[in-house]
Amino acid sequence: MSTRHFLTLRDLSPSELTRIIERAITLKQERSAGVLHKSLESKVLGMIFEKSSTRTRVSFEAGIAHLGGSGLFLSSNDTQLGRGEPIEDSARVISSMVDIIMIRTFGHDIVEKFAQYSSVPVINALTDEYHPCQLLADIQTYTEHRGSPKGKTVVWIGDGNNMCHSYINAARLCDFHLHIACPKGYEPDQQLIDENQDRITLFNNAKDAIAGADWVVTDTWASMGKEDEKQARIDAFNGFQVNEDLMQLANDDAVFMHCLPAYRGMEINETIMDSPYSVVWDEAENRLHAQKALMEFLLGQLSE
Ligand code: CP
Ligand code: NVA
């Protein structure tokens, strides 16, 4: 059987996604009931980080430990990757010693090349273009709170960034419609828009986009690597803050999500994260459960 990777949501079929989400929900319930699993006993997860992280690192490292394996944290500052050893050489060597690898890096081409030369499954733990692991957690969270996302209206407000791109992929996989509201010049990738025209509607203001929303999402205006554009972005994104006044224009049972870290006073106000709309704390916790299910799936431990 060929090695399965998870570089974008497009690597999963709708039924595989459903299996992973159902397993994540079960693992969460069983963990709170004290049920232990050893499905990945003695497996080693290589965790390559070329960018900062709190949730991704903790959820992967705790997740593999819960399943009986162990995580190996590899920062580019402390490995030869940071000194210019080629990706393909690193992929061959690291994958010969561990069972599964996650990478957080800059260009998406880096994880693609790593996967090409890896003999074990590779998971994209965020690139400049995509953040598919976060979407597993977000889909799990919506499913737990409101049921299936199929046919729903999801509204992305803010930068057309890696998270926005992953929401476009999710729209196709989960069969929902995606409204995207972003300032001119900050739209998502044009090719992705063109390929998914039947799934998305673009807006240039948040109030029009949020009408009919079942699920509202935002993210930082300045992603990792864009720090020097911060002030220009604060100016450009004026009017794109998610707050209770905006959420009142959504459907009555709309939920609010944010992948975190969040910047209060910028893309959100001070109170929305702790308002009745918010499911952000469940969303953050679900990174743990969703990625445990993902690792079981990629290692062939998740039965049909
Ligand atoms: N949401 C997310 O990926 O958070 P970290 O950057 O803390 O991993
Ligand atoms: N879009 C953000 C997500 C952080 C988890 C970034 O890339 O920095």
b/e per residue 240-278 (b: at least 16 CB within 10 A): bbbbeebbebbbeebbbbbbbebeeebbbbeebbeeebb
Q: CA 258, 259, 261, 266 torsion: positive or negative? A: negative
Structural domain containing residue 272: 134-284
Q: What is the pTM of this model?
A: 0.98
Nearest to 217 by CA among 173, 265, 169, 159: 159
Q: Is the CB of 260 under 6 A from ligand 1?
A: yes
pLDDT given at position 263: 98
CA dist 187 and 185 (Å) reads 6
For residues 225 and 266, membership in a common domain is answered with yes
Q: Name the residue with the closest Cα to ligand 2, atom 7.
A: 223
The CATH number for 117's domain is: 3.40.50.1370
Examine residue 2 and state whether it is found in any structural domain, yes or no.
no
For residues 140 and 262, membership in a common domain is answered with yes
List residues with catalytic annotation. 104, 131, 134, 219, 259, 287
Whether the pLDDT of residue 296 is over 70: the answer is yes
What pLDDT digit, counting tens, does each position of 207-226 carry? 999 999 999 999 999 999 99
Q: Which atom of ligand 1 is nearest to the CA of 133?
A: 3
For residues 64 and 158, membership in a common domain is answered with no
Side chain identity at residue 56, one-letter code: T
Confidence of residue 57 (pLDDT cuts 50, 70, 90): very high
For residues 14 and 146, membership in a common domain is answered with no
Examine residue 110 and state whether it is found in any structural domain, yes or no.
yes
- Ligand closest to the CA atom of residue 222: 2
Cα of 166 from ligand 2 centre, angstroms: 12
What pLDDT digit, counting tens, does each position of 99-152 carry? 999 999 999 999 999 999 999 999 999 999 999 999 999 999 999 999 999 999
Summarize the confidence of residues 13-27 as an average pLDDT.
98
pLDDT given at position 149: 98
Q: Name the residue with the closest Cα to ligand 2, atom 2.
A: 223
Task: Locate 241 and state its tokens.
Answer: 């803050």
For residues 121 and 248, membership in a common domain is answered with no
pLDDT given at position 304: 75
For residues 114 and 31, membership in a common domain is answered with yes
Examine residue 1 and state whether it is found in any structural domain, yes or no.
no
Examine residue 238 and state whether it is found in any structural domain, yes or no.
yes
Q: Is the CB of 53 under 6 A from ligand 1?
A: yes
Whether the pLDDT of residue 93 is over 90: the answer is yes
Q: Is the CB of 55 under 6 A from ligand 1?
A: yes
Q: What are the CA-CA distances from residue 246 to residues 141, 157, 163, 222, 268 (Å)? A: 21, 11, 21, 21, 10
For residues 279 and 139, membership in a common domain is answered with yes
Q: Which atom of ligand 2 is nearest to the CA of 223?
A: 8
For residues 189 and 263, membership in a common domain is answered with yes
Pocket test for ligand 1, best of 130, 257, 259 (most atoms within 8 A of CB): 259
Torsion of CA 230, 248, 255, 252, to 10 degrees: -170
For residues 17 and 90, membership in a common domain is answered with yes
Examine residue 108 and state whether it is found in any structural domain, yes or no.
yes
What's the number of domains the chain is made of? 2
Q: Answer yes or no: are the C-beta atoms of 40 and 301 closer than 8 Å.
A: yes
Whether the pLDDT of residue 174 is over 70: the answer is yes
pLDDT given at position 2: 86
For residues 227 and 184, membership in a common domain is answered with yes
Mean pLDDT of the chain: 97
Choice among 73-82, 121-130, 234-243, 267-276 with the minimum mean pLDDT: 73-82
pLDDT given at position 154: 99
Examine residue 304 and state whether it is found in any structural domain, yes or no.
no
Q: Answer yes or no: are the C-beta atoms of 121 and 100 closer than 8 Å.
A: yes
Confidence of residue 303 (pLDDT cuts 50, 70, 90): confident
What percent of the chain has a predicted confidence (pLDDT) above 70? 100
| Helix intervals (H) in 99-150 | 108-117, 132-146
Nearest to 212 by CA among 221, 220, 203: 203
Pocket test for ligand 1, best of 126, 136, 226 (most atoms within 8 A of CB): 126
Choice among 29-33, 48-52, 66-70, 75-79 with the minimum mean pLDDT: 75-79
Q: Is the CB of 43 under 6 A from ligand 1?
A: no
Examine residue 143 and state whether it is found in any structural domain, yes or no.
yes
pLDDT given at position 1: 65
Examine residue 303 and state whether it is found in any structural domain, yes or no.
no
For residues 279 and 146, membership in a common domain is answered with yes
For residues 14 and 92, membership in a common domain is answered with yes
